[in-house]
Structure formats: C-alpha cells, structure tokens
Amino acid sequence: MSADEAALLAVNEPHMGTIVRIVADCDDAQLFKKATAAAFARIRDIEQICSDYRSDSEVLQLSAKSPTSRPVSVSDDLWNVLVKAHQVNQASSGAFDVTVGPLTKEWRRFRRRGKLDATRIEEVRVSVGAQHLTLDEKMHAVSLAAGDMRIDLGGIAKGYAIDAALEVLSKHGVSRALVDAGGDIAVTGAPRGEPGWRVGIAGLDPQQPPILIAYLSGCAVATSGDAFQFLEHEGKRYSHILDPRTGYGVDHRAAVTLFAKTATEADAWASAISVLGPDGAPKSLQNQPGIAVWMEVLVDEKPVTWVSPNLGTWLSEHGQKQAND
C-alpha cells in the first residue's frame, strides 16, 4: 500500500536564515501539530545558541570574550556542535573550521562592495585557526587563545538543528518524517509503501531539473555550492565558501551533495568537501566510510561529475535506490 497523499502532512516556518519544512506520514493531524510545534521550538532554541547574526547568541557572546583568561563553560548544545566541528576539522585537514568567523564577516562586506581587500584578509587571519580553540571535555568549557575571534557555526548548526528536530518528532511518535532546512535534509522512516523519501539532487545549475533522484530513509543529505553567492574580482571568481586555510573564497566551481547518517555530519562535510574539491576530497574521505559524495565540478567551462567510490554501496546499504531523473 502506498502512502496516502492525504496522510502526508507538511508545515513551514522561517528559522536559521531559511525556510524549515517538516513533512510527515502521519494519520493524526493533532499529533502532527503538537510534535512540529515542539520541533520548531527546539530549532529556535538552537538558533539562539548558534546564530552568527544575533548579538545575544551564546556563540557570539563566547566569541566576544576572546582571548579568554580561563575556560568558559558552554551549554550542552554548543558543546556538542563544537565537538563535532572539531572532529570534522581534524579529519578534513582544516578545510572545515568554525573559527573562520572574522573572514566570513569581511567577505560579506567584500560581496556588498564588489571588491576584496587582500590587506584586510591578512589582518583578520591572525584570529583564525583551530589551534586557537581548545575544548575542555571534563568541564565542557572552551578556551579562545587569540583576540578578536568569531566562531561561525553557519556550516554545521543547521544540520544540528535538523537532527534535533527529528529527535523531537520521534519522541512524539512521529516516526516517518522529513525535515528540510534550505536544501539540507534528514529523514527517519520512509512513507508507507515507498522505498524512501524522494529527494532530487541538483547540479551546478539549480534551476535545471535534478540530475539524480535518491530515495532516502534514516539518513541525511546536504548540498553546498556557489550558484548564487560569489564575488568576481580582477577577472577571478571567488565563492562565498571560504577556505579557512587561505582566507579566500574557493575558486573552483562545484555543486556538492553529501550523504551521511546525520544532518550534522552532512552539513559540515558538505562545506569541507566544497573547499577540498575533487583533488583533496579522496584523501579526507578515505577514513570516512559513513559518508558518500556526489559532486559536479566545472572544468574548462564544462561540468564534470565526481563521485566517491562508495556512493552506490552507501545508498544500497541504507536500503535506498537511486535513478536518473
């Protein structure tokens, strides 16, 4: 029996700088309403902790204390996000780094003005680097060694919020659900009668039909690319995706789709792989069997597809199937 369309309930709310959509195969509209209200409340709480735009967010208040004279205790949510961010930073050889905030702030200005400032990049880079951030596991506390640090969780907080929302839905008994936050998606059980939640994967031009259709359950997928946000300076195109190791936006054009068990991992690794590109990705992914990648890269103005060797296996092992659209 296929999932009855009438049983697929959906609701949208603006959070985390995007529209968050929750869809569920659920027969009880009241239960769905109660569960999604709780899930959105959880997302709001995480946004208040992790936001890079709210001056009163916990992470910006922590950043404002840099350099810290002693370790600063943080909430469980902020601790969890920072621990996962550290793990991805180490595994990606620094391609993902939440201390990139000072550079993020400058590049926002560059894009508004349509011009970059190489001197300013070098000035703020002294405050960037994972070596400046120390996590005290015993105290769940954070030390910031450099001055003017700014922790930017934009590449991981959305995924963490998605995972948290799904957890809330499951606790309320909504076990067949999808949470989509601006294209980053995580799902629990598949709709009744379906092989999974149908998710379209875009190429370099997101206006075109999906290049691949995947049917997902019990996992997550995140996308990363620079189709709309970039800066052209002196004939060179720089993505809004920054390489924390150089201070500059990446100059290769790529659309990355990252499959992982959790949205937290998918979100962070999608950013890391976007920085690494097809040349650096294979080495970092060698020890990450739980992650699979589909990437389209522009080479000599022509799109070239790169996939991790385990993509087909990963999809089949997770009980999904895939098909070209």
Do 289 and 218 lie in a common domain? yes
Residue 121 belongs to a domain with what CATH number? 1.10.3980.10
Q: How does pLDDT run across 162-202, given as a tens digit for each residue? A: 999 999 999 999 999 999 999 899 999 999 999 999 988 87
Q: How does pLDDT run across 225-243, given as a tens digit for each residue? A: 765 556 666 667 767 789 9
pLDDT for 323 beyond 60: no
Q: Is residue 179 part of a domain?
A: no
In this prediction, residue 106 carries a pLDDT of 93
Q: Is residue 309 part of a domain?
A: yes
Residue written as token pair 């300013």: 120
Average pLDDT over residues 97-105: 96
Residue span of the structural domain in which 84 resides: 66-144
Q: Is residue 172 part of a domain?
A: no
pTM of the model: 0.93
**Residue 56 buriedness (CB in 10 A; 0-12 / 13-18 / 19+):** exposed
Q: What are the residues facing 15 on neighbouring strands?
A: 18
Total domains, the chain: 2
* Termini Cα distance of the chain: 24
> CA–CA separation, 213 vs 55, rounded Å?
40
Q: Is residue 87 part of a domain?
A: yes
Do 201 and 140 lie in a common domain? no
Do 214 and 310 lie in a common domain? yes
DSSP characters for 244-310? TTTSSB--S-EEEEEEESSHHHHHHHHHHHHHHHHHHHHHHHTT-TT-EEEEEEEETTEEEEEE-TT
Which among 144, 159, 177 is the end of a domain? 144
Q: How does the average pLDDT of the chain come out, rounded?
A: 90
Q: Is residue 319 part of a domain?
A: yes
Q: Provide the 10 A C-beta neighbour count for residue 228.
A: 7
Do 216 and 306 lie in a common domain? yes
Taking the CA atoms of residue 261, residue 88, residue 268 and residue 232 in that order, the dihedral angle to the nearest 10 degrees is -150
**Residue 307 buriedness (CB in 10 A; 0-12 / 13-18 / 19+):** middle
| 3 state DSSP class of 235 | coil
- Sign, CA dihedral 273-249-82-15, equals negative
Do 242 and 310 lie in a common domain? yes
H or E stretch at 199: strand 197-201
Do 224 and 302 lie in a common domain? yes
Could you tell me if residue 316 is left (phi over 0), alpha (psi between -120 and 50 degrees) or otherwise beta?
Answer: alpha
Q: 214 with 96: CB under 8 angstroms?
A: no
Q: Is residue 269 part of a domain?
A: yes
Do 138 and 200 lie in a common domain? no
Q: How many helices (H) does the chain have, and how many strands (E)?
A: 8, 16
DSSP characters for 63-118? HTTPSPSS-EE--HHHHHHHHHHHHHHHHTTTSS-GGGHHHHHHHHHHHHHT---H
H or E stretch at 197: strand 197-201
Do 208 and 316 lie in a common domain? yes
Q: Is residue 90 part of a domain?
A: yes
Which among 129, 144, 159 is the end of a domain? 144
In this prediction, residue 317 carries a pLDDT of 78
Which among 78, 112, 144 is the end of a domain? 144
DSSP state of 209: P
Do 214 and 291 lie in a common domain? yes
Q: How does pLDDT run across 246-281, given as a tens digit for each residue? A: 999 887 777 899 999 999 999 999 999 999 988 899
Do 139 and 209 lie in a common domain? no
Residue 265 belongs to a domain with what CATH number? 3.10.520.10
DSSP characters for 170-195? HHTT--SEEEEETTEEEE-SPPTTSS
Average pLDDT over residues 90-112: 94
Q: Is residue 149 part of a domain?
A: no
